[in-house]
A = this chain, B = another copy of it.
Amino acid sequence: MDDETMAEFLADLASPAPAPGGGAAAALQAALGAALVSMVCNLTIGKPRYAEHEATMLSALIEADKARAEALALANADARAFAAVSDAYKLPKGTEDERAERSRAIQAALGTAAEVPLHTAAVAAAVVGLCAAIVDGANVNVLSDVGVAAASARAALDSAAINVRVNTAAMTDAGARERAAAALAEHLASVATADGIVRAVGERIGS
C-alpha cells in the first residue's frame, strides 16, 4: 500500500482480494481525521487573532501528526493480521495434534487481528479528543474542517468496533473477549463527543 496511488489503493480495496478490507478503511478514516486536525492547527498557529490558543494548537499539531502516522501503520498492519488469520485456518487438521495446533494458531492470530482495530479505535478516540481541544480556538476559516475531522474519526470508531467484534466473536477465551470488549467500550465513549462536535460546527457555520 505504501507505493500505491490513492486510485490504486481504492482499486485494491474494491478487488476480490479480502485484504485490504474494512480494517484498512477504518484506519484510513482515522488518518483522514488526524490529517485535517493538523491542517487546522497549521492554519491557526502564528495568526495574531488566535494567539491565545497558540499553545493548544502547537500541542494538538504534534499529537495529530503522530496519530496520522499511527493510523497509516495500522492500515498496513491490518492486512498482515488478516493474512495471519487466513493462514492459520488453512493449517492441516488431519490428526488430533494438528487440530490442537491449528486451533492454537487460529486463536493467537485472532487475538492479534482484534488488537489492530482496538488500536485504531484508540487512535480515532484520540483524534476526537484533539477535535474537542481545538474546536473553540480554531481559525474560523477552517472550522468546517474540524467538523469533517470529527465525522471521519467517528466513522473510524464505528468501523473499528465492527472489526473488533468480528475477531472476538470467534475467540474461545472468554476473558480475552471481555477485556477486548471493555477496552472497545472505553474508546466508543468518544462517539457521542464526535457527534457533538459535528453538530456544534454545523450550528456555528449556519449562524
Contact = CB atoms under 8 A, between A and B. Distances in A.
Contact of A43 (B2, B18, B29, B148): B18
Nearest to A42: B16
Interface string A2-33: 11111101110111101001100110110110
Interface string A164-192: 01100100000000000000000000000
Report the interface size class on chain A: 35 or more
Interface stretch (A91-99, A103-111, A130-138, A154-162): A154-162
A169 to B, nearest CB: 6
A14 B39 contact: yes
Residue from A2, A25, A42, A65 having most chain B Cβ neighbours under 10 A: A25
24 contacts: A6-B31, A6-B72, A6-B75, A10-B72, A11-B35, A13-B32, A13-B36, A13-B38, A14-B35, A14-B42, A14-B65, A18-B39, A21-B142, A22-B148, A25-B35, A26-B148, A29-B29, A144-B162, A144-B165, A148-B158, A151-B155, A151-B158, A162-B202, A169-B206
Q: Which 8 A-B pairs have the closest CB atoms?
A: A22-B148, A14-B38, A155-B155, A16-B42, A13-B35, A151-B158, A14-B35, A22-B145
Given A29-B32, A152-B155, 20 more contacts: A6-B6, A10-B35, A13-B36, A13-B38, A13-B39, A14-B38, A14-B65, A15-B38, A18-B39, A21-B36, A21-B142, A22-B148, A22-B149, A25-B32, A144-B165, A158-B198, A162-B198, A162-B205, A165-B206, A169-B206
